[in-house]
Amino acid sequence: MCRLGHVPLARTTARLVRLNSRSIDCRKGCRMIRHYPPSSVQRNVDNACMKQAPPKVVLIVEDEPHILDLLSDFLADEGYRVLAAESSAKAFEILATKPQLDLLISDFRLPGNVSGVMIAEPALKLRPDLKVIFISGYPIEIYESGSPIVRTVPVLAKPFSLDSLHGQIQQLLAG
């Protein structure tokens, strides 16, 4: 017995085969050709797909390689274009050379006595529309930094779920 995922289509196809063929020989098989007329709806769908916006660009700054890889893979799978920086130096290099960035996700505590705020503040001066999310195992330090931007950006305390991160990203990029 043949199992098809779309039952109404299978029933319709079976009826057409019974109506239009005298017999089906299982040893020889059969060939079915179905023609669909052009549809204006389909053309509109195709045009809408062609006009789809390019993916949002996300810069992730995280010094722990396994977390950086996990976040990069997750966001790439969600359709974002991901730029990854394992250090503040790499982050500043990316900020200086990449003209389009939509979102910065930065760990707060980074090597070299650099904080995520120290990366975000100049980035926001260059790109006022840039959205920022801080991630940290020590979120209280972010609030104690005294930077005015910490009052306006989301802070995710490690460990956090990928769903909560994705929700924050969608909320920021939608507005």
* pLDDT tens across the length of the chain (175 residues): 444 444 455 555 555 555 555 555 556 666 666 555 665 555 555 555 556 778 999 999 999 999 999 999 999 999 999 999 999 999 999 999 988 999 999 999 999 999 999 999 999 999 999 999 999 998 888 888 888 898 899 999 999 999 999 999 999 999 7
Q: What does the alpha-carbon distance between residue 144 and residue 119 come to, in Å, rounded to a whole number? A: 16
Check if the beta carbon of residue 172 is closer than 8 Å to that of residue 165. Answer: no
Task: Provide, for the chain, the percentages of residues in helix, strand and coil under a 3-state DSSP scheme, each rounded to the nearest 5.
Answer: 45, 15, 35
pLDDT of residue 7: 47
Q: Which residues contact 159 (CB under 8 A, 6 or more apart)?
A: none
pLDDT of residue 54: 87
pLDDT of residue 3: 43
pLDDT of residue 58: 98
Q: What does the alpha-carbon distance between residue 63 and residue 44 come to, in Å, rounded to a whole number? A: 46
pTM surpassing 0.85?
Answer: no
- Structural domains in the chain, sorted by start: 57-174 (3.40.50.2300)
Q: What does the alpha-carbon distance between residue 47 and residue 40 come to, in Å, rounded to a whole number? A: 11
